[in-house]
């Protein structure tokens, strides 16, 4: 009963939304350059395979979560998305390990690639690397997520068909096109079934994308507990940016300046026909209910 194979999503070009820098740029910016801190890491750090991975979901808030987590002194993470378990698996674990930042004893190595959650082969591949890997999934209302996904594509390809026309296989009968990745990603219960074949539910933390905006410190508290970290990231690290409509860090990792996510985040969504939105809500409801049961969490999307 594994989830059906998903269409290959095109990787965003370096610097575009979803993948903020290429792996080469990431390596150039890695803490191996000559600075007092990096020489300290260089001298005594070791590259390790990640003990925790943010596996999804696209347009759920994964970039925000990673940036917030990087404030923690015991978290070291790759900035770019390695896409190892979906697109680069044949390069091998040594290649993957080499992308990781150096860590000291007691620090956690992390990466995030949101497309893992919907990649059929990813659970088995991660499990074969380490059955003990901690997995984090950031989820948000699947209807809003689909619109956000469409908005991102529209910003790159302004001539794509309307959201409404892509949503339906047949507008007259109201049959939803589940092969469209923007719709398919939001069927969380189906994808989760695939992960539960390889990982116990207690090894997966589900973060609410909505609460990440309304109460970032609260959600980060849960994440730090899950990772076995001391609760260092608290309310004092955040301020709410009214223009963008989401929380920002007062100080980013390795900087004394406030840090907000780039211009590719917080885009204005196009107006979508309310009847279509309602149809989608009805479509997702049973899947949402199943997901709430599976995770033991009510995300309040209905």
CATH of residue 218: 3.40.50.300
Is 296 a member of any domain?
A: no
63 annotated binding-site participant: yes
245 annotated binding-site participant: no
Q: How many helices and strands (H and E) does the chain possess?
A: 12, 11
Is 22 a member of any domain?
A: no
Residue 59 appears among annotated catalytic residues? yes
Split into its structural domains, the chain has a count of 1
Q: What is the pLDDT of residue 38?
A: 47
Is 300 a member of any domain?
A: no
Is 20 a member of any domain?
A: no
Asked if 20 and 80 touch (Cβ cutoff 8 Å), the reply is: yes
Is 199 a member of any domain?
A: yes
56 annotated binding-site participant: no
Is 9 a member of any domain?
A: no
218 annotated binding-site participant: no
pLDDT at 281 over 70: yes
**Which tens digits make up the pLDDT trace of 57-92?**
999 999 999 999 999 999 999 989 999 999 999 999
Is 241 a member of any domain?
A: yes
Asked if 2 and 194 touch (Cβ cutoff 8 Å), the reply is: yes
Cα 103 from Cα 101, distance rounded (Å): 6
Closest CA to 6 of 175, 167, 122: 122
Give the residue numbers spanning the domain of 66: 46-141+186-264
pTM of the model: 0.83
132 annotated binding-site participant: no
Provide φ and ψ at 212, rounded to 5°. Answer: -65, -30
**Which tens digits make up the pLDDT trace of 190-241?**
999 999 999 999 999 999 999 999 999 999 999 999 999 999 998 888 888 7
Is 7 a member of any domain?
A: no
Closest CA to 272 of 168, 169, 185: 168
Selected catalytic residue, list 47, 58, 59, 134: 59
């Amino acid at each position: 009963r594994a989830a059906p194979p998903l269409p290959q999503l095109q990787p965003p070009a370096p610097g575009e939304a979803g993948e903020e820098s290429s792996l080469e740029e990431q390596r150039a910016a890695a803490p191996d350059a000559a600075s007092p801190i990096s020489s300290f890491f260089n001298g005594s750090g070791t590259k390790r395979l990640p003990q925790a991975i943010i596996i999804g979901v696209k347009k759920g808030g994964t970039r925000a979560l990673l940036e917030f987590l990087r404030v923690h002194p015991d978290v070291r993470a790759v900035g770019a998305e390695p896409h190892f378990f979906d697109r680069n698996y044949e390069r091998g674990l040594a290649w993957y390990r080499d992308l990781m930042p150096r860590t000291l004893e007691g620090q956690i190595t992390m990466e995030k690639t949101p497309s893992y959650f919907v990649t059929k082969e990813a659970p088995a591949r991660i499990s074969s690397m380490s059955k003990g890997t901690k997995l984090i999934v950031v989820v948000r209302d699947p209807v809003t997520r689909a619109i956000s996904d469409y908005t991102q594509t529209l910003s790159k390809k302004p001539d794509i068909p309307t959201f409404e026309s892509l949503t339906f296989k047949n507008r007259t009968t109201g049959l939803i096109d589940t092969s469209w990745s923007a719709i398919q990603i939001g069927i969380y219960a189906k994808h989760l079934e695939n992960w539960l074949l390889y990982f116990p539910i207690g090894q997966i933390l589900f973060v609410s994308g909505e609460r990440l905006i309304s109460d970032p410190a609260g959600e980060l508290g849960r994440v730090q507990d899950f990772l076995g970290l001391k609760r260092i990231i608290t309310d004092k690290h955040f301020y709410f940016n009214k223009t963008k409509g989401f929380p920002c860090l007062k100080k980013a990792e390795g900087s004394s300046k406030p840090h907000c996510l780039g211009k590719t985040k917080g885009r204005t969504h196009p107006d979508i026909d309310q009847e279509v939105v309602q149809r989608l809500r009805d479509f997702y409801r049973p899947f949402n209910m199943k997901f709430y049961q599976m995770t033991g969490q009510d995300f309040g999307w209905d």
